[in-house]
Structure 1
Amino acid sequence: MSTSAAGAASPETPPDTPVTATARRARAAAAALAPLPRTPRDAALLAVADALVARSAEIVAANAEDVSRAQAAGTADAIVDRLTLTPERIAAIAADVRDVVALPDPVGEVVRGSTLPNGLELRQVRVPLGVVGIVYEARPNVTVDAAALCLKSGNAVLLRGSSSAYASNTALVGVLRDAVAGAGLPADAVQLVPGESRDAIRELMRARGLVDVLIPRGGASLIRTVVEESTVPVIETGVGNCHVYVDARADLDMALRILVNSKAQRPSVCNAAETVLVHADVAEEFLPRALAALREAGVTVHGDAAWQKADTAVVPATDEDWATEYLGYEIAAAVVPSLDAAVAHIRSWTSGHTEAIVTGDTEAARRFTALVDSTAVMVNASTRFTDGGQFGFGAEIGISTQKLHARGPMGLPELTSTKYVVTGSGHVRD
């Protein structure tokens, strides 16, 4: 992924529209933020946290409009719940902002440095990306989370949430902008992309030269659209077709705990397991126990012939099942003859998010971690641990499943790039 520095737009910059005009203001704000030390950025975030609590009634009232429309449209209860804001939830969001303040500042960190043989002093330092666009679905908490992380890392942010949360996001961004401006930072460091139509998203995706990077957060369709249609560099996030492999030398009690936790602890998230693979040597003993535990957790199994033989209630699995991110109480299941067969299956179907092996064999664990090419590989641990908070990074903007610039949970350092600062004393090159 490549990004351009905040500042003047490139010659290819598109003409002014409401979206590109917003991006131009963000670019000017990014240039003002870039040289600031930590203190004013943290002060702005503390002002944001206080304002969210103080103006929660205003935010809840706006959110009620979105919730009412969603309910009238017959939106699923789970989605309505994600959309809903209450004073308690807003207080929790404000607490998350304060947690971001406490995180180390990545800007200005020296990644590496040395004095060259010719006496030049070389430093590679972290700098803000510039203007970050976030495209996401009906989760208004993301509006605040993304803005807080971008401000902390010295970036301006353009927020494009779902039209179903438009009133909520408008209210939230209004509160954020007032707080940021009151703290002495440019209000345009936080902006909502204007418009509720998909045309606004398309313009944002084509604002190359004005927007440095786009980060989509949401379902597979949203992410695919942004990745395939954007001319702005994209950090691909989120889709999780994750696997748990139970090896021939696994502790089966441990394997059972890890499987159920990976699948059922919170099935609607990207680090939940969607496929379980079991070595043939332990299948006879493990399958009945796994089926009973999954049934108790309310999980429907889509299995191959071996799983169907173990329980007639198992739904026959197809290629579609191996490729599916269920995000619910369903899991695909197969018996494999070897570790290498498990790896081959994973390589064929994974989204590159998280895979786990349960084994007591050190060599098997070493081989699995060497052969599996995913963002995170767990050894004797649940897939659910792939998370910025769980990794000790603090808040995250998402889970990157690509290989360039950022991979895995994206914390504050992943919202920066680097530049080289070279200091001489009149050096000229021969």
Structure 2
Amino acid sequence: MPQPLRVALAGLGTVGAGVVKLLDANRALIERRAGRPIEVVAVSARDRSRDRGIDLSRFAWADDAATLAVAHDVDVVVELVGGSDGPALTLARETLAAGKPFVTANKAMIAHHGLELAAIAEQQGVALKYEAAVAGGIPVIKGLREGAAANVVSHVFGILNGTCNYILTEMEEKGASFDDVLAEAQRLGYAEADPSFDIDGVDAAHKLSILSSLCFGTAVDFDSIAITGIRHVIAADIAEAAALGFRVRLVGHGEESSKGLFQRVHPCLVPLSHPLAHVSGSLNAVVAHGNFVGRLFFQGRGAGEGPTASAVVADLIDIARGETGPAFAMPVAALAKPATAPAGDRRGRAYLRFTVPDRPGVLAEITAAMRDAGVSIESLIQRGATEDGNVLIVMVTHVGPERAVADALERLDGSQSIAGRPMLMHILDE
């Protein structure tokens, strides 16, 4: 009988417990597909006494997760601790340096330290796997790294954060405010007590940086991503978008051109005719365009015990089969380091919302700024007074360079006619 793949599991939260449950539930099938048994032999977590709904007495317990890296009876380490640095990074470095494969669901660590870890894995001839780090149970990493490996990918974009998508969907369906929906999401456990990483777009940006590297053969470059979250989206934006034939979604977008690599996470207006407009609730979706395969569309549950555990175990099956290979589809030394493409050169349409006092001359000031910046207005709507006595002005621009819209907003910066922060959302026309 083939020797089992002996797994050490660091982190026994929702996903860690899910990995144990999945390996137990599908043991026979997993063994047939992997060609050998896959067995958890050791675990590590902060609290031994917590009830996780699984029997932990059969596993060796390590108080210090770092010891798993050098344990003689461990073949592969799975990290589900989280955090871009600290214990997770130490465990990753020491496991790979010890010549053992490493599996993680940690998108922040891969986004910030993935190149370093991939280089160590290459030097040691072992696998660094992270399918669960992007889009939960959707096999997008494997699909892009392996299934689309023969294609030149022109761009990749998608809905990469389930919390934001849940909030926007609830606002859309209930007409509720952002703050009310966020509070409800926290109560239900869909959002963290501190939701900043999610609602400010950082989590989506971590995932986008990984997808861009896989698609374009470039070094992971989180720092060049322009990030705007959904914190300032109001119910009126959702309603106006619907009236115009759009839905609001937080979209991560990566594209490579002769001018460099463009990466952005930004709330967008998505036409109802586009597949992303129908990705609702906590679902994730990724779209990539290959020059021979055409459009690829991946959709599914992007988080949670089952989907994320599924992705982790899929990586373990690969390792059990002896499948290795570069973490980012090519050796680290072959990854390009392109310039950052300027957003201002991009052409497209934009949605703009202004909150202004209800007095003569305000609309003229805004339209004059648009005219002077070279922005052509496709449609313009002024709504009645809000609770604070202000009115909303909503406009959609014709296709034009993004720098023109940025110039117009800069001209209006500090104007006494603008109450609060204008909202800019680009329109997805792909």
Q: TM-score, normalised by structure 1?
A: 0.29
Give the structure with the higher percent strand: 2
What TM-score, normalized by structure 2, do the two folds share?
A: 0.29
Which has the higher relative contact order, 1 or 2, with Cα contacts under 8 A spaced 6 or more apart? 1
Higher helix share: 1
